[in-house]
């Protein structure tokens, strides 16, 4: 990328965009523009080739069949692997998170191959569906405040040795395997179960992606009053007794 431009790619909005996850692209785009960046946003449908020159790639959640189709097409396309090899940042949510792992359970009840960009494996949970507000502490090495989001998933995800947990859950289920972790990341590839959309609840995550793309340690401040009011509202909701 150039010093004043950002190439943002929203992957398969026709398949993976449940629970308002496309809002993540809107938040990243807005916060980049607030810092004076020229944002080139490209929404790539599942019948289009994925560009390899993006700086930030975003993937949302979806139902089981669209998830299967998205994984098959992304593997055939190969563009996301090439983009990551070029240093691109990827942030994925729910079904998108599972797709980035080694395998997940598809709508046919079969284990399906994922992209292998994260060292995680997803399976069908045997207990109750994970639904509700979540509050979690993001890994201290990332330097971000607590994570707030909404989870709605039956799948559970286990981390392999090269994946680091994105956050440690205070309230909610997170990855659902009982280890207390939520999401995962490795290098510039991130995954989470959090909807909300997660960037609207946690704009500092959008800022982290922008900083990684710019290769800088800090960004100019922006007005966060609206975001902070929403964050505090949802944090309070997560900590209320059921």
Residues within the annotated binding site for substrate?
129
Catalytic-residue membership of 130: no
Q: Give the rounded distance of the alpha carbon of 218 from its chain centre.
A: 21
The annotated binding site is made up of 129
Catalytic residue among 130, 153, 186, 195: 195
What's the rounded Cα separation, in Å, for the pair 135 and 147?
6
Catalytic residue among 94, 153, 186, 204: 94
Catalytic-residue membership of 94: yes
What's the rounded Cα separation, in Å, for the pair 175 and 81?
24
Positions annotated as catalytic residues are: 94, 195
């Amino acid at each position: 990328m150039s010093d004043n431009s950002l190439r943002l790619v929203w992957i398969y909005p026709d398949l993976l965009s449940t629970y308002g996850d496309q809002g993540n692209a809107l938040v990243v785009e807005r916060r980049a523009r607030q810092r004076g960046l020229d944002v080139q946003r490209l929404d790539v449908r599942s019948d289009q080739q994925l560009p390899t020159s993006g700086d930030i790639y975003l993937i949302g959640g979806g139902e089981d069949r669209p998830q299967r189709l998205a994984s098959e097409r992304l593997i055939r396309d190969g563009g996301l692997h090439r983009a990551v090899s070029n240093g691109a940042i990827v942030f994925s949510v729910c079904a998108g998170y599972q797709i980035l792992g080694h395998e997940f359970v598809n709508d046919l009840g079969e284990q399906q191959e994922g992209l292998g960009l994260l060292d995680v494996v997803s399976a069908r949970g045997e207990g109750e569906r994970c639904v509700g507000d979540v509050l979690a502490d993001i890994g201290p090495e990332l330097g971000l405040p607590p994570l707030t989001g909404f989870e709605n998933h039956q799948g559970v995800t286990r981390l392999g040795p090269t994946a680091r947990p994105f956050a440690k859950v205070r309230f909610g289920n997170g990855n659902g395997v009982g280890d207390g972790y939520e999401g995962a990341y490795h290098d510039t590839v991130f995954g989470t179960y959090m909807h909300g959309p997660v960037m609207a609840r946690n704009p500092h995550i959008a800022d982290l992606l922008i900083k990684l793309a710019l290769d800088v340690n800090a960004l100019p401040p922006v007005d966060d009053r609206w975001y902070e009011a929403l964050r505090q509202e949802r944090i309070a909701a997560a900590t209320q007794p059921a």
